A and B are shown apart, each in its own frame.
Chain A
């Protein structure tokens, strides 16, 4: 409407006049004379009430209750615990009867329980229960983190038990070598497992993670042997420390990504 008016020269002139008039009116106002009345308590209270639905409660007010441990033991399949005990026995057999290097056994076998545990993370989804789990009070995210923690603790306990057996019934293991062959690679393996799980959210994530891990572990062993041969073994603890630090950062990122995927049902579909 206003555009049409402006196309006529006469109308454009009258429009300008209007603006000039308006300008004059504005000039008459002495803005410094204006007072803004402070709103009444009632008006403030009304505004707060109106805004309340839009304001999230601070995190500290939210429930921080943890899910009882028993719940997770209840949900993780007995087959998981059994399979991992078998891996523990396999480690012992390799060491006892094939006289394999305990460090290499630790390197190759230690992340296996964690990889198998990845299956448990997706179990609810695989069995069609995720939608219901998300709707419950304890969110699927909380459940996921608890499961990760349970699996990791079980994994570390098994490894410590294996190390204990090696030390008691064989030569004592060197702490620095354990860092290089077990602790650092274990953290790297966990980060790989989580990265794979984030991309392949089903049963295939386990063999994929295992294949990647075996490849990395074999490359690692070959490189370590070469370094030892050329007298560069002193660098190894530092390199292991650096790898572990990077892997921890990567783990945090991957856990955040994984949590995001458990927030809403459609994130999985």
Chain B
């Protein structure tokens, strides 16, 4: 299975949200990394067939998804970034409603709903009204609905927003397990969500795809550019003014700063192994600073 994005652009009036994006995606987890307004959600919407590109097209195994139409949507599981719920529906009724929209037969839908409620640890809440659930629980309902039809293509936009660390790990593992024979597209701000599961990272900046590669390859670009230095409290501001500081760790003998620098920033600086947070800071410095 291959999803090809061919020269996709999207304009909203004078604003260009996506600029000539091309890439190919096969089975596995792909993570879209980008700051707010980078075009992640727009691209996700186009791939989920809820938005239409201004130019370019998306092909699944060589066939335009607009031509595939219902057949494409039949193999799609989508979790939008901001999803509403019919608040007076119970969790079970809501999932049954989505199952019906996905064309799943009633007995099969019932079994699948139970299975997924188990998977997202909501089996005790199945008769609770969606309006009474916490944000994290609603997000888990959203994740469950995306998986109802055993989709071949899963598109989840900021799926871990509102989830606690334990839930995030569970979700990560769930995605990782099911990604073997599916295309999973995941957009996130939280780099730890994708560190171990992403086959490739797609870095979007101001509507353009600036990098698409395996995380390790991207991290290799940062080799010899990440350093740690020990600073006294009154030196921290000066370091922050001169370098990109990705983290600070208070130690007994001072504060350890993690710094991005093309060259060794100080004689006592030690080279560090780059991680995805460094990568994010490298590409989205201004946004990270915010």
Binding site for B on A (CB under 8 A): 52-57, 62-63, 65, 67-68, 70-71, 74-75, 77, 123, 127-129, 131-139, 143, 264-266
Contacts and interface: CB of A to CB of B under 8 A. Distances in A.
B67 A133 contact: no
Nearest to B48: A135
A266 B51 contact: yes
Contact of A265 (B45, B67, B98): B45
A74 B62 CA distance: 38
Interface string B144-163: 01000100000000000000
B50 A265 contact: yes
Contacts of B149: 137
A52 B12 CA distance: 31
A50 to B, nearest CB: 9
Contact of A138 (B52, B79, B85, B101): B101
Contact of A132 (B64, B69, B70, B145): B145
A50 B16 CA distance: 31
B85 A129 contact: yes
Contact of B87 (A70, A127, A264): A127
A131 B103 contact: no
B63 A52 contact: yes
Closest 8 pairs between A and B when the two form their complex, measured CB to CB: A128-B84, A136-B101, A135-B78, A265-B50, A71-B100, A127-B84, A137-B103, A131-B80
Contact of B103 (A55, A65, A70, A265): A65
A186 B273 CA distance: 73
A71 B101 contact: yes
B45 A139 contact: no
28 contacts: A52-B63, A53-B62, A53-B63, A56-B67, A57-B67, A62-B69, A63-B70, A65-B103, A67-B101, A71-B97, A77-B88, A129-B83, A129-B84, A131-B80, A132-B78, A132-B83, A133-B101, A135-B48, A135-B76, A135-B78, A136-B102, A137-B70, A137-B73, A138-B101, A139-B70, A264-B51, A266-B12, A266-B51
B49 interface: yes
B49 A135 contact: yes
Interface of B: 12, 45, 48-52, 59, 62-64, 67, 69-70, 73-74, 76, 78-80, 82-88, 93, 96-98, 100-103, 145, 149
B40 to A, nearest CB: 15
A77 B88 CA distance: 9
Contact of B101 (A55, A57, A128, A143): A143
Contacts of A135: 48-50, 73, 76, 78, 80
Contacts of B80: 131-132, 135
A136 B97 contact: no
Nearest to A126: B84
A75 B63 contact: no
A264 B50 contact: yes
Nearest to B86: A127
A133 B52 CA distance: 16
A265 B17 CA distance: 15
